[in-house]
Chains A and B, each alone.
Chain A
């Protein structure tokens, strides 16, 4: 079964850090160039970060650049989002996803900065 399973998240104080993980099964997630997307409470979708399939190129939203890092695990099925210097406006549900086609999303994990 093709799926992405997320872990991590929770409540963190401003200035703190969190690491989110995203584990793929049933397909090679890294081949598609994984993305992170977030959604603040009651708000729209915000693209956050991308990692190229070969792991050499990263892109970030301006709002997280310099604070967040997307990375891959030692196995080919895990992607991480390391978040540092968290702010209250980083509070959101975070999704890992392939975006575009094929369309595969993690279940989402909540990060609350308070």
Chain B
């Protein structure tokens, strides 16, 4: 199975900051990587798929990059609504796997 490792586990930031979350795959997943946002008590929300393609309605301050085994999600000009937990997920091979999550907190 492909293991997904996110770093950091927790990230402290302020409104207006630019933050970057890293996701590493245990083997080459090409660009088959998605990012989700989840707020407490809410259903996850897809932000980006295929490494850098936006789901409709996602603000342009989110951006995704990477290939093969290393990927990043960058949030520019952090907004109060962005404080949440973020998960990467590979869909190169089954079983699909998620990273352990990165909590972005104030």
- State whether these chains interact: yes
What is A's interface to B at a CB cutoff of 8 Å?
Answer: 35, 37, 44-47, 50, 59-62, 95, 97, 99-101, 103, 105-108
A47 to B91, CA, bound (A): 11
A45 in complex: contacting residue of B1, B44, B91, CB < 8 Å: B44
Which secondary structure dominates chain A's binding surface? Answer: strand
A81 to B65, CA, bound (A): 34
A62 in complex: contacting residue of B85, B87, B95, B99, CB < 8 Å: B95
Question: Nearest chain-A residue to B85 (Cβ)?
Answer: A44
Cβ contact within 8 Å between B55 and A103:
yes
Beyond A45-B44, A47-B96, A99-B46, list 7 extra A-B contacts (CB 8 Å): A45-B98, A45-B101, A62-B1, A99-B89, A101-B49, A107-B43, A108-B43
How many chain B residues sit at the interface, stated as a range, is 20 to 34
Chain A neighbourhood of B97, CB < 8 A: 47
B45 sits at the interface (CB 8 A): yes
A97 to B43, CA, bound (A): 10
Considering the complex, which residues of chain B in the window 10-64 have a beta carbon less than 8 Å from any beta carbon of chain A? 34, 36, 38, 43-46, 49, 53, 55
